[in-house]
Amino acid sequence: MKLTTKSRYGVRAIFDIAYNAGGLPAQIKDISERQRISPRYLEQIFQKLKKQKILGSKRGPKGGYFLKMDPKDITLYEIITATEGPIELVFCVSTDEHGVNCGPECDMKPECIASPLWQDVGEQIAAIFKKTTIQMLCDKAEKLGIERKLDARFMYYI
């Protein structure tokens, strides 16, 4: 399984908002600069995250993007599935929410010894993403001494 930039950047951007915005809306240009992600691409990713109610947005000079949930309640699984879709290693094990196979049929499915293995590995990966929260990433960043960079609009010099 290879995660695309959509999910990787989505995780980085949500972490950035949680870690650097201090509960205030974060502007896309600041997130873009800190994470070195194109603002246009971030906008596309944020639309998917807004649909899943992970992010909200506010217009105006004090506007920007904000988390609609507490960082301890946002899992990497939610971000990845919002940006990528279901986590699946191979097409032959993909199922819908009712457990019905929705991938293309494989002639070898009834005799495939590897199919249950792929499904098990995919479920274990999903379990790791489900138990890892944005708050956990923020705590780890703090322990590593990663500097918090507040949005430029909140910096005042005398």
pLDDT digits (tens, 9 = 90+) for 77-104: 999 999 998 887 776 666 555 555 555 5
What domains appear along the chain, each with residue ranges and CATH number? 5-86+133-154 (1.10.10.10)
Dihedrals phi, psi of 125, to nearest 5 degrees: -65, -45
SS3 content of the chain, % helix, strand, coil (to 5): 55, 10, 40
DSSP conformational letter for 133: B
113's tokens:
């010894």
One DSSP character per residue, 22-44 reads TTS-B-HHHHHHHHT--HHHHHH
pLDDT digits (tens, 9 = 90+) for 13-57: 999 999 998 888 999 999 999 999 999 999 999 999 999 999 999
Share of the chain above pLDDT 70, in %: 84
